[in-house]
Chain A
Amino acid sequence: MEQSGHLAIKNLTKVYERGQVVALKDLSFSVKKGEFLVVIGLSGSGKSTLLRCINRLIEPTSGSVSLDGVDVTSLPSSRMRRMRRGMGMVFQHFNLISRSTVLTNVLTGRLGYTPVWKSMAGWFSKADHELAMKSLERVGLEEKAYVRADELSGGQQQRVGIARALMQQPSLLLVDEPVSALDPATSNSIMQYFEEINQSDDITVLTSLHFLSLARRYGTRIIALKGGELVFDGLPSDIDDSRFKEIYGEEAEEVEVR
């Protein structure tokens, strides 16, 4: 196959039937193993749609996504589920089971590896429990294992989200605006977890971010979307003032988040 790299996206298009919105227009790019790729763009530019088309939480209209040479878009649903195990996902609003304990939430990361009948009763293997405690240790939450998820702060909840994604032992992490619900200091500490995971586990990270300053600081490469089209693909240092105005419009001004 002529696909270069780890994740290859070719001519990806998404049209939402309702309202005939073209959210992604003929998008093509590829990602190398171990990259920390940041997707930027205005609200509504299609960042969330792109990330969800990769693990097919949203069904693309046309085009293809392939991971390690496997065409994800053509997989039948049972094989798609196996494929998803290798793609962790972290969300803007954390999306935890608020009434359950932190440990249960983290264990759900193993659902793809657990027989259905066992998981119906809430049984996870001993190895899974050990892995869960290890993941929690990595995000510094081992003491909160038996606390209800909705009793945690936003930053802590996002760390649970990260631990859940780690449980999948993914090769790719899809992250949708992980810090837009958090304050600047917490944002940085969350981004550092992603940086650490990216570097020490060699997990490819694909994240959308609202703040360019964070994108510059953590990304090894940046792509920018505008109206569903790719308008920039390059190094963080390549985004100068005129590039910035191209992406965000003439009126925009850069805001610093430290």
Chain B
Amino acid sequence: MSSAGRSTKPLSQLINLLGRSLGQIQKAWEPFIVDFAIIATTWILITYTYSWFTRGPELATYFLVPWWLFLIGSVEIAVLWESFGVSLGHTLFRVRLLGADRRPPTLRQAVVYFFGWHISALPLAGLLASPPLHERWSGLRFHPLIVDSIRPRPWYRRSIGIYLMALFVVVSVAAVGVTITFQNLVRLFSDAYRVAPLWRALVNPNLAILKDSFSDLIVTIFMAVMATLFATIIAVPISFFAARNLTQGAIGRTVYTILRGIMSIFRSIEPIVWAIVFLVWVTSAHASFAGVLALWIHSIADLTKLYAERLESIDEGLMEAISATGASRFQVLRYGVVPQIVNPYISFTLYRFDINVRMATVVGLVGAGGIGGRLIAYLSGQRYANAGTVMLLIVVAVWAIDYLSSRLRSKLL
């Protein structure tokens, strides 16, 4: 019997149970976390901007109140919003807080929900109950949003619409106010003459340094080539374990989750930061090697994600058809998967090479080899004409590679 393989082991039952109640807790918290985050962010933005204007940049503060009051306040506002209105979290996850038979909540129910939430959520234990205690007491719970024939209120008359609009205004004011001063703006227009030699060099390069700069440029391009090549070699096999549809079962899922997690952490650290790390690690005597390592790590993370996402969208029908011929797992990969991904993979690799050429210049700026180092040396020595010449070279090289790779990629699609 086929059901023999699905024997009910107590351990797996326990894991299932745990998974289910974790899933429930997650459902109950998702909207709350969104609301809390957005309110806390707004609070910080408002108080920071306000104190920046009233007390000056040096004394600007984030909360205006002790940090614990800030935390409690944000939680309370979020719960109030969720108990008595349709919050941003509700909208985002497409749920509504409704009573039995999808009746809208009465005031009494909302009050019970609000206070019940504190009793059940603060010690956490009340959330483990199914349904969570505050839902049980108030009779309210999340129902999936059903778009029915009733015309929804226009966005500017809903609490979310008003809230988002206010948020937009606050953020704009804060951003402009904190980053730009009037003196800055004046200098932008009046002091342009300082870098005039740089612009002049773009049309009239300094031929004396052209040859040396060119050999630095070659180093930069080689750095990009090395990083892309070795990243591809690593990322191609890894991507198969980072694709959701190809990793099934408990072990597969775990590998998938860990790989995706590591990759997204690696990707969120910019190559320039990696370059600094590796400069310390392998010493700056091997500067371009550190640069290659920095680009390599970042490329692996980026390519793995791009590759894996492509794998997740392959046509499973072909895999089915190949499996149905009696093919083995490797044969299914070779004939059911590979033909669907070869071209996209090449295209992603070229695209990444493109980025790496540009990034190789940037990591050079912190001393990790190549033409970036030369550029930063000229700039800090205020030799703007030479810097302009180097920039001209970079522009031409990046443009040419960009052009070639996009032509190649359009052929591949």
Given A96-B318, A97-B339, A111-B331, A168 and B326 contact (CB-CB distance below 8 Å): yes
How many residues on A have C-beta within 8 angstroms of the other chain's C-beta atoms? 42
With both beta carbons as reference points, the residue of chain B lying nearest to A86 in the complex is identified as B326
When chains A and B are docked, how far (Å) is the Cα of A145 from the Cα of B8? 51
Residues of A within 8 Å of B325, CB to CB, are: 84-85, 88, 108-112, 164, 167-168
Inter-subunit contact A74/B324 (CB<8 Å): no
Inter-subunit contact A97/B318 (CB<8 Å): yes
Inter-subunit contact B335/A111 (CB<8 Å): yes
Inter-subunit contact B317/A73 (CB<8 Å): no
Interface string of B1-26 (1 = CB under 8 A from A): 11110000000000000000000000
Inter-subunit contact A62/B324 (CB<8 Å): no
Residue of A88, A95, A120 with highest tally of chain B CB at under 10 A: A95
**Residues 297-322 of B at the A interface (beta carbon under 8 Å):** 315, 317-318, 320-322
Given A62-B1, A97-B335, A85 and B326 contact (CB-CB distance below 8 Å): yes
Interface string of A72-108 (1 = CB under 8 A from B): 0110000001111101110101011111100000001
Inter-subunit contact A55/B324 (CB<8 Å): yes
Inter-subunit contact B339/A87 (CB<8 Å): no
Given A84-B323, A96-B318, A61 and B330 contact (CB-CB distance below 8 Å): no
Given A108-B325, A168-B326, A64 and B331 contact (CB-CB distance below 8 Å): no
Residues of B within 8 Å of A87, CB to CB, are: 324
Inter-subunit contact A57/B323 (CB<8 Å): yes
Size category of the binding interface on chain B? 20 to 34
Given A61-B3, A64-B2, A81 and B327 contact (CB-CB distance below 8 Å): yes
The distance from the CB of B250 to the nearest CB of chain A, in whole angstroms, is 14
Q: Find B318's partner among A74, A95, A110, A168 (CB 8 Å cutoff).
A: A95
B334 at the interface (CB under 8 A from A): yes
B328 at the interface (CB under 8 A from A): yes
Inter-subunit contact A91/B330 (CB<8 Å): no
Given A89-B321, A93-B317, A99-B339, A116 and B2 contact (CB-CB distance below 8 Å): no
Pairs across A and B, CB under 8 Å, 7 listed: A57-B320, A62-B2, A73-B1, A84-B323, A84-B325, A98-B339, A119-B334
List 16 additional A-B contacts (Cβ < 8 Å) besides A81-B326, A81-B328.
Answer: A60-B2, A62-B2, A74-B1, A74-B4, A84-B325, A88-B324, A93-B317, A97-B335, A108-B335, A109-B325, A110-B325, A111-B335, A112-B327, A120-B334, A168-B325, A174-B324
